[in-house]
Structure 1
Amino acid sequence: MAGVSVRYGSPKQPVTALEGVDLRIRAGEFAVLVGPSGCGKTSLLRVVAGFERPASGRARVRGALPRPGAGAGVVFQQPRLFPWRTVGGNLAFALARAGVPRADRPARIAGLLERVGLAETAGRRTWELSGGQQQRVALARALAAEPELLLMDEPFAALDALTRERLQEEVRALAGRLGTTVLFVTHSAEEAVLLGSRVLVMAAGPGRVVAELPVGLAREPDTDVSALRASPEFARLRGRLAGIMRG
């Protein structure tokens, strides 16, 4: 995107969520947006997803105008599953929207659930699952169309610490295996450093990118993430990012 601005409210009293944002995400990159509440992280994500049109500037995804569902999977802070459908039914809906033939859907559903560690749950109701399991289903649904781009808006914020750590590790490994481009929003310096190959720091008033931090930590799918969390380099990067965020 180049020079992107987003405004809300009436023409007489507009509220500027983003102002003049320039941003380029490379294919296969795990980019993380951090910053205080109200700095426009979600607005930026919505522009990339095609849910918002910028008031000015230009946004492109692989050279085309962003459109909802056009090659991007989205995972929100809340799972937003269909409670009247089973786990498999939620995934079947996403596969149907992606044009997958009906005969191919059962195998694809089994593969998606295996990928997120929820094998044998296709017949269960979503309300029978824990919060962490529901968020895994939401991730599987976002991956159903095999998107080249995955957009994640604070997907683990409402989870307990242990579940959050487990899903962080799973998403990190999954992105590495699939080579998916990821744009991830968080408030947490620790989460940003653990997940991101590059961290973009935003400031409010109005929202803009003010700094970036490359993260050179090991990203192979079989990386020992527990050892990574305990490493001096992880602590150094987390401290450096926290300092940037404090300004």
Structure 2
Amino acid sequence: MPRTDAPAAAPGTQGATGGPAVDLTGVSLRYGSAKRPVTALEGVDLQVGRGEFVVLVGPSGCGKTSLLRVVAGFERPSSGRALVRGAPPAPGVGAGVVFQQPRLFPWRTVGGNLGFALARHGVPRAERAARITELLERVGLAGMAGRRTWELSGGQQQRVALARALAAEPGLLLMDEPFAALDALTRERLQEEVRALAGRLGTTVLFVTHSAEEAVLLGSRVLVMAAGPGRVVAELAVGLDRAPGTDVAALRSSPEFARLRGRLTEAMRG
């Protein structure tokens, strides 16, 4: 696979136990009829190590969301092999998904939305209240279990969606442009919080975005996709220091950040 700036072996590609969190080999995905198929993905090879934060970037129609849907188990590959922690992916098993829109139940409270997710994943009723409190604390919404979802701002609703995705304590988090509809300040705040949360929990993340800046800020690796058909055409390793307490504003304005963003923008244009 072509690379723009990557080490011989990307850090974290193999987990400490059990191999990679995500392992795609020759994955292709086609829609439509046999006579007029539409190829969304063609021959995608991808490994994501446990605890890695990998970002997919590229123009609309290049297959980013289709790839995420395969990993989530929402789509089955037309050819090739897809494994999540060593097994074929299945919806709701082993992965939490956060979409561009929160997709919350408006007739339920914040706690009700989380309680529904916990119930689906078999958490006993007696344990749900404590788990809801813990989840809301994780995403910075402590004390808001009784609020109605329509009373929340867009950023708060997306935090609830993130908490819902974490309800089953997934080892893998799939995020499809989750901050695209938010204002700039809210987006920056949630970017920082998601990166810190993933690091604290050791969660593997596969994140889709159009933004080169967001990709460099969040990813330990960035994969560039191109259309016609959808495929991975370049890879960028990001070695920025993201230790706890790192000044994110200073990180964004650093020469290394600017260099990486420039290389990624060039790869996306190419």
TM-score by length of 1: 0.99
Of 18, 21, 25, the match for 2:44:
21
2:236 equivalent to 1:213: yes
2:14 equivalent to 1:10: no
Aligned mates of 1:141, 1:20 — CA distance in 2 = 33
Q: Which amino acid aligns with 2:85?
A: R
Q: Which amino acid aligns with 2:257?
A: F
Residues 132-190 of structure 1, C-alpha deviations (whole Å, 9 max, x = no match)? 00000000000011100000000000111111000000001101101100000000000
2:212 equivalent to 1:189: yes
Deviation at 1:222, TM superposition (A): 2.6
In structure 2, the residue matched to 1:203 is 226
Deviation at 1:223, TM superposition (A): 2.0
Aligned ranges for residues 148-159 of structure 1 at < 5 Å?
148-159=171-182
Structure 2 unmatched ranges of 5 or more? 1-23
TM-score by length of 2: 0.90
Q: Root-mean-square deviation (CA), in Å?
A: 0.7
In structure 1, the residue matched to 2:16 is none
Partner SS, residue 163 of structure 1 = helix
In structure 1, the residue matched to 2:78 is 55
Aligned mates of 1:91, 1:224 — CA distance in 2 = 32
Deviation at 1:227, TM superposition (A): 1.3
In structure 2, the residue matched to 1:43 is 66
In structure 1, the residue matched to 2:153 is 130
Partner SS, residue 159 of structure 1 = coil
Mean Cα deviation higher: 44-53 or 2-11? 2-11
Of 195, 199, 215, the match for 1:172:
195
Aligned-pair identity (%)? 87
Aligned mates of 2:244, 2:207 — CA distance in 1 = 18
Q: Which amino acid aligns with 2:196?
A: A
In structure 1, the residue matched to 2:53 is 30
Aligned mates of 1:109, 1:220 — CA distance in 2 = 28
1:18/1:44 contact within 8 Å kept: yes
Residues 31-86 of structure 1, C-alpha deviations (whole Å, 9 max, x = no match)? 00000100000000000000000100000001100000111000000000011100
What count of residue pairs does the alignment treat as equivalent? 247
Aligned mates of 2:120, 2:245 — CA distance in 1 = 33
Aligned ranges for residues 132-147 of structure 1 at < 5 Å?
132-147=155-170
Q: Which amino acid aligns with 1:118?
A: L
Q: Which amino acid aligns with 1:44?
A: L
Aligned mates of 1:72, 1:225 — CA distance in 2 = 28
